[in-house]
Amino acid sequence: PVAAAPAPAGVLPLRPELAGDVPYGAPQLDVPVLLNVNENPYPPSEAVVADVAAAVAGAARGLNRYPDREFLGLRGDLADYLAVESGVRVAPEQVWAANGSNEVMLHVLQAFGGPGRTALSFAPTYSMYPEYARDTHTRWVAGRRTDSFDVDPAQARALIAREAPSVVLLTSPNNPTGTALDLSTVREVLDAAAQVPGGCVVVVDEAYAEFRREGVESALTLLADHPHLAVSRTMSKAFGLAGARVGYLAASRDLVDALRVVRLPYHLSAVTQAVARAALAHAPELMAQVGSLRDERDQLVLDLRDRGIRVAESDANFVLFQVGEGRHEIWQGLLHRGVLIREVGPEGWLRVSVGTPEETAAFTAALWEVLGI
């Protein structure tokens, strides 16, 4: 191999705002129990694997051609899924998809953010948002969530009026706290956004929506009256398809049409489209599995509370819990026992994804040991 010469200062014209930045990402370690990135612990069933493989073979026969740029087949399947999942029917043209909801969100910022514009969210929340803002030269403003990790409607209204953002990102259920927002709060934010001169798009990031508890409503129910609302979802969590990279959103046609302008040509490969459609055909069986993950989550919350640990209410497939001083050592102690969780969120808290019952048992056993409780 040719020795790579280090680039002397000034040779690479790196954008100054990137100086010192490192690539985002949780550690990818080879550990027996992986509970750090909110994946679905269950691999696709053999029936799903067989259908995905057949679909990929079908797509492979046409790989000399570029894929369907508009992918209305997949967008229609996603619309059908949303209708069953949340009772809200949208047209295929109101759905957009990309390589993970990360890319969907980047499209939103590319279309509606930009130099001289502001994107706003409420921390603690998903740590990728400031990166989408940085990468699209959009100013980033983070309001605060309350002590119970909720968004205070009056404070949100005041912040939106003051900062006049062109994009507001609301995460519900929120990562890393698990908190679902009341729809009345989302409505207030939509009202405040509608009063921003020049307009403001509100994205409700529902990456974890399928894990919400009984009675918690999706913001999809607000789409009909709000052309500036987008509700984003992903196949990475409930569908157990993180490796396929498929995220999507539902919104008004005009909003989706703006995203079509900024996407790269053929951004969603024929293989990705085929895999997603094959998995969507198995939605009912995958959703049954989501039910057991929800039960597992609720039990984990109870078990932690039984030992006197403070736990945030969760409508997601993970749980944020408070350990106080020395969280890094506790995280390290768990890792030492073969359990990888995530050191994220407010100081003194840790986040653990819901695994299989065996994985969750391994986690709690390790935690009691580390904490000496």
Judged by the rule CB under 6 A, the positions of this chain that interact with ligand PMP are 38, 100-102, 126, 171, 175, 205, 207, 234, 236, 242, 247
**In whole angstroms, how close is the CB of 19 to ligand PMP at the nearest point?**
26
Nearer to ligand PMP (CB atom), residue 35 or residue 366: 35
Q: Which runs of E-coded beta strand occur in 311-357?
A: 318-322, 339-340, 349-353
State the Cα torsion 152-155-159-165 to the nearest 10°.
30
Nearer to ligand PMP (CB atom), residue 138 or residue 177: 177
CA distance 289 to 42: 8
Q: Crossing angle of helices 283-306/270-280, nearest 10°?
A: 80
**In whole angstroms, how close is the CB of 207 to ligand PMP at the nearest point?**
4
**In whole angstroms, how close is the CB of 146 to ligand PMP at the nearest point?**
19
Contact 171, 126 (CB under 8 A): yes
Nearer to ligand PMP (CB atom), residue 67 or residue 124: 124
Nearer to ligand PMP (CB atom), residue 207 or residue 222: 207
Contact 25, 329 (CB under 8 A): no
Nearer to ligand PMP (CB atom), residue 101 or residue 118: 101
**In whole angstroms, how close is the CB of 4 to ligand PMP at the nearest point?**
31
Tokens of 248: 């999507």
Q: Which runs of E-coded beta strand occur in 51-102?
A: 95-98
**In whole angstroms, how close is the CB of 103 to ligand PMP at the nearest point?**
7
Burial of 7 (0-12, 13-18, 19+ CB in 10 A): exposed
